[in-house]
C-alpha cells in the first residue's frame, strides 16, 4: 500500500508518526529504528517504539546531558553512533517526534521520512488554524453571554435580599471573571526580576503570613524574565489550594525553588523549578483525573468556581513552562511548577 494512503485518516501528529512506524515495519526495512517523543519539560524524552536490540534508553538519555545536537529539519543528522531524522517543529516550546537509525537511511527510506515530515507539517498547521478559529468563535460567544449575565447581576439589589442569593450572585461574578480569563488569549509582558523577589512579592499578594511557610530558595539563582502579574496569579492559586488543604496552617507548607538542568540537547536553557508541598488532606484518586478541568471543584459551596488549577496551568503553559501535580489522600499534595531559566 502507498504510504499516503496508509496514513490518510490520521488526525493528529502522534497518530501519524505511530502509523508511519507501523508502515516502516511492514516494509521490512533492514535498518532497525527507534521512535522517541520529546516535550519541553523536566523529563523530556518518552520511548514510543524500539525496533533495535542494541538501543538502551536510559544510557542514551544520559549520553545527551550537556550536549547539543545541530538539528536540521527534514534531513538526517549523525550524532553519537546514531542517525537522527527530525521533522520541522518548534523544538523549544512544543512536543515533537523523531526517529533514530543504526545505519544511514537509503534513498527509499529518506523519501518516506520526507513524506512523513510534510504530512506532519500540514497536520500541525491545520490544527493551529482550527484551534485559533474555535477559540475566537467561542470567546466571542462567551463574552456576549457573560456581558448579559453581568448586566443582570449588577442591577440594583433590593435592601432585603436573602443571604444565599447574595452568595450566589458573588459566585456568579467570580465564575464569569474566571471563565472569561480562561477563554481569552494571554498577552505576556515579561521583564527581568530577581527570583527571590518574585516569590516574596507573590506570597505577599496571598495575604498569608509569609513567616510561617517553610521557604528555601537556592542561593545560585539570579534574575528571570517573566510576566510577574500572570505568574503571581498562577502561583497564588497553588498556594491557596495548599493553605486550605492544611486547614489554614502555613507551617505545613514547604516551598523549594531550584535551578534544574534541561536534560535535553534541544533546549538551550535550564528550568526554574518551584515545588510546593503541603501536608494537607490530599486529593482522592477519583478526582485526580479531573483537577485540570474547568468548573471542577469539591468546594463549590464555599464559593470556588473550579478554575484555579485550570487557569494556573493555562498561565504556566503560556510562559512555556509546565505544571505537575501528585497527591495522596490523607497525606498531602506536591505541585511542581517549572519555567524556562535562561
We report the CATH number of the domain holding residue 200 as: 3.30.565.10
Residue 315: inside a domain: yes
Per-residue model confidence (pLDDT) at position 278: 95
207 and 328 in a common domain: yes
329 and 194 in a common domain: yes
Number of domains in the chain: 2
Residue 303: inside a domain: yes
Q: What order do you get walking across the sheet with 76-79 strand by strand?
A: 45-50, 33-38, 96-101, 82-85, 76-79
At residue 159 the predicted structure's pLDDT band, cuts being 50, 70 and 90, is: low
199 and 122 in a common domain: no
Final residue in a domain of this structure, among 126, 160, 175: 126
Per-residue model confidence (pLDDT) at position 91: 66
| Assigned C-alpha cell, 225 | 524574565
Per-residue model confidence (pLDDT) at position 339: 94
Determine the structural domain holding residue 223 and report its residue range: 189-341
φ, ψ at 284 (rounded to 5°): -65, 145
Q: How far apart are CA 116 and CA 103, in angstroms?
A: 19
**CA geometry: angle 336, 341, 342, nearest 5 deg:** 165
Please state the rounded mean pLDDT for residues 312-331.
93
Q: How far apart are CA 310 and CA 187, in angstroms?
A: 17
91 close to 267: Cβ distance less than 8 angstroms: yes
Q: What is the largest CA-CA distance in the chain?
A: 82
Final residue in a domain of this structure, among 91, 126, 161: 126
pLDDT at 168 over 60: yes
212 and 105 in a common domain: no
206 and 297 in a common domain: yes
Q: Quick: pLDDT tens for 33-53.
A: 999 999 888 888 999 999 878
93 and 11 in a common domain: yes
DSSP summary character for residue 221: -
217 and 121 in a common domain: no
119 and 201 in a common domain: no
Q: Which range in 2-11, 139-148, 230-239 is most confidently predicted, on average pLDDT? A: 230-239
Residue 133: inside a domain: no
Percentage of the chain with pLDDT > 70? 87
pTM of the model: 0.77
Residue 326: inside a domain: yes
Per-residue model confidence (pLDDT) at position 150: 65
240 and 113 in a common domain: no
Q: How far apart are CA 119 and CA 8, in angstroms?
A: 9
Per mean pLDDT, which range of 72-81, 143-152, 232-241 is the poorest? 143-152
337 and 198 in a common domain: yes
Final residue in a domain of this structure, among 126, 146, 165: 126
At residue 217 the predicted structure's pLDDT band, cuts being 50, 70 and 90, is: very high
Residue 160: inside a domain: no
Residue 38: inside a domain: yes
pLDDT at 135 over 70: no
pLDDT at 276 over 90: yes
Residue 80: inside a domain: yes
Residue 332: inside a domain: yes
At residue 338 the predicted structure's pLDDT band, cuts being 50, 70 and 90, is: very high
245 close to 316: Cβ distance less than 8 angstroms: no
Per-residue model confidence (pLDDT) at position 158: 60
Average pLDDT score over the chain: 85
pLDDT at 148 over 60: no
196 and 96 in a common domain: no
pLDDT at 31 over 70: no
287 and 195 in a common domain: yes
* CATH number of the domain bearing residue 18: 3.30.450
Amino acid at each position: 500500500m502507498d504510504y499516503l494512503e496508509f496514513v490518510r485518516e490520521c488526525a493528529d501528529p502522534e497518530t501519524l508518526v505511530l502509523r508511519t512506524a507501523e508502515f516502516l515495519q511492514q516494509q521490512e526495512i533492514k535498518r532497525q529504528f527507534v521512535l522517541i517523543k520529546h516535550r519541553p519539560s523536566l523529563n523530556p524524552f518518552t520511548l514510543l517504539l524500539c525496533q533495535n536490540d542494541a538501543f538502551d534508553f536510559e544510557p542514551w538519555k544520559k549520553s545527551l546531558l550537556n550536549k547539543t545536537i545541530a538539528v536540521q529539519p527534514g534531513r538526517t543528522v549523525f550524532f553519537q553512533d546514531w542517525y537522527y531524522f527530525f521533522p520541522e517543529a518548534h523544538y523549544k516550546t512544543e512536543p515533537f517526534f523523531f526517529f533514530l537509525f543504526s545505519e544511514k537511511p537509503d534513498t527509499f527510506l529518506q523519501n518516506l521520512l520526507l513524506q512523513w515530515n510534510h504530512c506532519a507539517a500540514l497536520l500541525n498547521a491545520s490544527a493551529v488554524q482550527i484551534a485559533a478559529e474555535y477559540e475566537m468563535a467561542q470567546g466571542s460567544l462567551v463574552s456576549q453571554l457573560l456581558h448579559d449575565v453581568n448586566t443582570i447581576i449588577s442591577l440594583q439589589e433590593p435592601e432585603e435580599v436573602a443571604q444565599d442569593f447574595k452568595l450566589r450572585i458573588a459566585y456568579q461574578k467570580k465564575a464569569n471573571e474566571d471563565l472569561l480569563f480562561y477563554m481569552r488569549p494571554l498577552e505576556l509582558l515579561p521583564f527581568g526580576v530577581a527570583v527571590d523577589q518574585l516569590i516574596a512579592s507573590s506570597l505577599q499578594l496571598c495575604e498569608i503570613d509569609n513567616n510561617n511557610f517553610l521557604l528555601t530558595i537556592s542561593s545560585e539563582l539570579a534574575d528571570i524574565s517573566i510576566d510577574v502579574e500572570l505568574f503571581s496569579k498562577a502561583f497564588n492559586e497553588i498556594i491557596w489550594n495548599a493553605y486550605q488543604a492544611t486547614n489554614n496552617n502555613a507551617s505545613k507548607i514547604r516551598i523549594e525553588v531550584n535551578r534544574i538542568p534541561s536534560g535535553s540537547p534541544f533546549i538551550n536553557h535550564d528550568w526554574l523549578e518551584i515545588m510546593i508541598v503541603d501536608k494537607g488532606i490530599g486529593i482522592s484518586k477519583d478526582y485526580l483525573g479531573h483537577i485540570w478541568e474547568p468548573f471542577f471543584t469539591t468546594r463549590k459551596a464555599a464559593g470556588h468556581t473550579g478554575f484555579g488549577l485550570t487557569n494556573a496551568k493555562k498561565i504556566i503553559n503560556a510562559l512555556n513552562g509546565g505544571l505537575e501535580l501528585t497527591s495522596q489522600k490523607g497525606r498531602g499534595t506536591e505541585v511542581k511548577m517549572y519555567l524556562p531559566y535562561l
